[in-house]
């Protein structure tokens, strides 16, 4: 996809923004609904009535989206773009699944042309599903990082990514070393971090595939570049937790394998985090690290149930993610639906306002991009989508009976797919 030239644009429809967290009090009270939003120079200038926006920019191009829901583009806080081609591979437990499907596919990313093909395919698939920003693992190959950032840069997207570092418990040809992982990561960071809308994320895959020496090296790199994000996995499955205990017998718990090597901090993203002990939850809350909920992955691979409401209530920062290809869909709508279903199983029916917030504002905040992406707010980058709330006959017949916005949008959350994405704007430029 190639964006067209940006200009002042007024989008009209039902414009959704958030003025607070829907997990604090009445969920609906955290949301604001306007008639129009003005986009200027790739950013949100203002929102309000249609007349107010036209008075503010008389010469602006008008894009009338009817009764579509206009909102921030989805923010996916944990993905593996190299797993695009093997998404929805028949299920096994995590370690078997990695060895059977993931690692053989990731070995192909030393080929720059293949990496470029998959990177472009992945970003086009996710844009078609309304995802405008994401945080991705690459592979151990620098070529995989180069391909991803090049493809995102061409589309003008704000993305986060890093070379995955693994120096043990992976196939030959898919291992680096503590030193080469550090050196390659530092070189890539120096080339791409802060260029246009691109940010580097320091990326040790998880403790089982890194020696203590490699975790130490990654911790040192993060200390040298504290403005970077650091992403990894934590307590995804019970057998994984036991494996970590056998590999790190001196550690107090799984989180301690990161903490002891300088990999616990406010800009840390800890994927899954299902089986946390009390000490781990306390430390994550104290430092402000983010827990990234991956509901379709957790059900697809049989990992377990993450209790979103309980974690937020205790003060954790939580983002939402597809975790493709462990997650079985590129769609954040499907991801929200899975989060709702898991919420039901853990005792809390998440409100539509909470689900949409998790997929936008909440995920943006875990990436330390609150106010920059993930919301329709003045000064934010204009990554925006228009959702058709009656995109299929099944959704339309339920939508017709809706009594308010939340009843109108919930069928799309539960049953919607890429057909619900009427338009996508990246930095104010239409992409579909």
User: What pLDDT shows up at residue 259?
Assistant: 98
- The residue out of 366, 391, 409 marking a domain boundary is 366
Q: How far apart are CA 342 and CA 332, in angstroms?
A: 15
Q: In terms of domains, do 347 and 299 share one? A: yes
Q: In terms of domains, do 91 and 217 share one? A: yes
Q: In terms of domains, do 219 and 347 share one? A: yes
Backbone angles phi, psi at 56, to 5 degrees: -75, -25
Single pTM value for the model:
0.97
Q: Is residue 151 part of a domain?
A: yes
Q: Is residue 3 part of a domain?
A: no
Q: In terms of domains, do 152 and 272 share one? A: yes
Tokens 């006959």 — which residue? 393
317: tokens are 């920062």
Q: In terms of domains, do 340 and 403 share one? A: no
Q: Is residue 336 part of a domain?
A: yes
Q: Is residue 400 part of a domain?
A: yes
CATH code for the domain of 297: 3.20.20.140
Q: In terms of domains, do 117 and 32 share one? A: no
Q: In terms of domains, do 316 and 416 share one? A: no
Q: Is residue 248 part of a domain?
A: yes
Q: In terms of domains, do 243 and 164 share one? A: yes
Q: Is residue 4 part of a domain?
A: no
**Count of domains observed in the chain:** 2
User: What pLDDT shows up at residue 4?
Assistant: 40
- Give, for 338, the enclosing helix (H) or strand (E): helix 332-345
Tokens 């299902």 — which residue? 274
Residues, the chain: 432
Q: In terms of domains, do 398 and 309 share one? A: no
CATH code for the domain of 53: 2.30.40.10
Which positions ≥6 away from 178 have C-beta within 8 Å? 167, 211, 213, 214, 216, 217
- The residue out of 339, 366, 393 marking a domain boundary is 366
pLDDT along the chain (432 residues), means of 10: 64 98 97 98 98 95 97 98 90 77 91 98 98 98 98 98 97 95 98 98 98 98 98 96 97 98 98 98 98 96 96 98 94 98 97 98 98 98 98 98 97 98 97 92
Q: In terms of domains, do 87 and 216 share one? A: yes
Outline where DSSP puts E strands in 193-274.
198-204, 229-234, 268-272
- The residue out of 340, 366, 392 marking a domain boundary is 366
List the domain range (segments joined by +) for residue 85: 74-366
Q: How far apart are CA 67 and CA 390, in angstroms?
A: 10
Outline where DSSP puts E strands in 187-297.
198-204, 229-234, 268-272, 290-293
Q: Is residue 26 part of a domain?
A: yes
The dihedral built from the CA positions of residue 71, 75, 76 and 77, taken in this order, carries a sign that is negative
Q: Is residue 1 part of a domain?
A: no
User: What pLDDT shows up at residue 248?
Assistant: 98
Q: Do the Cβ atoms of 160 and 199 come closer than 8 Å?
A: yes
Q: In terms of domains, do 168 and 184 share one? A: yes
| DSSP code string of 288-304 | TPEEEE-HHHHHHTT--
Q: In terms of domains, do 49 and 79 share one? A: no
């Amino acid at each position: 996809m190639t964006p067209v030239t940006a200009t002042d644009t007024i989008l009209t429809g039902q414009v959704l923004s958030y003025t607070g967290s829907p997990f604090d009090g009445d969920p609906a009270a955290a949301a604001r609904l306007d008639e129009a939003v003005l986009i200027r120079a790739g950013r949100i200038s203002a929102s309000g009535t249609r007349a107010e926006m036209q008075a503010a920019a008389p010469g602006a191009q008008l894009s009338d989206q009817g009764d579509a829901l206009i909102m921030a583009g989805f923010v996916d806080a944990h993905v593996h773009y190299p797993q695009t081609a093997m998404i929805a591979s028949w299920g096994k437990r995590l370690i078997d699944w990695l060895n059977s499907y993931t690692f053989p596919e990731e070995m192909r990313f030393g080929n720059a042309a293949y990496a470029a093909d998959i990177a472009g395919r992945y970003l086009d698939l996710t844009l078609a599903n309304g995802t405008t920003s994401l945080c991705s693992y690459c592979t151990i190959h620098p070529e995989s990082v180069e391909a991803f950032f090049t493809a995102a840069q061409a589309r003008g997207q704000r993305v986060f990514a890093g070379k995955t570092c693994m120096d043990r418990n992976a196939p030959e040809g898919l291992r680096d070393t503590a030193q080469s992982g550090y050196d390659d990561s530092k070189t890539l960071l120096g080339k791409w971090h802060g260029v246009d809308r691109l940010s580097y994320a320091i990326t040790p895959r998880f403790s089982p595939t890194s020696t203590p020496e490699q975790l130490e090296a990654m911790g040192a790199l993060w200390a040298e570049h504290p403005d970077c994000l650091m992403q990894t996995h934590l307590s995804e499955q019970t057998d994984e937790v036991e494996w970590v205990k056998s590999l790190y017998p001196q550690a107090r718990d799984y989180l301690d394998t990161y903490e002891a090597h300088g990999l616990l901090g406010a800009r840390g993203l800890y994927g899954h985090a299902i089986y946390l002990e009390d000490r781990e939850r306390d430390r994550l809350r104290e430092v402000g690290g983010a827990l990234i909920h991956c509901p379709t992955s957790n059900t697809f691979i049989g990992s377990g149930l993450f209790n979103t409401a309980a974690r937020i209530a205790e003060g954790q920062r939580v983002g939402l993610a597809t975790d493709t290809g462990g997650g079985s869909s590129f769609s954040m709508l499907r991801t929200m639906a899975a989060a709702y279903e898991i919420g039901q199983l853990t005792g809390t029916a998440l409100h539509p306002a909470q689900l949409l917030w998790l997929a936008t504002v909440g995920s943006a905040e875990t990436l330390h991009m609150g106010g920059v992406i993930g919301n329709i707010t003045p000064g934010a980058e204009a990554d925006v989508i228009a959702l058709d709330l009656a995109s299929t006959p099944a959704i339309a017949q339920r939508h017709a009976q809706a009594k308010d916005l939340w009843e109108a949008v919930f069928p799309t959350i539960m049953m919607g797919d890429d057909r619900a994405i009427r338009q996508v704007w990246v930095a104010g430029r239409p992409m579909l």
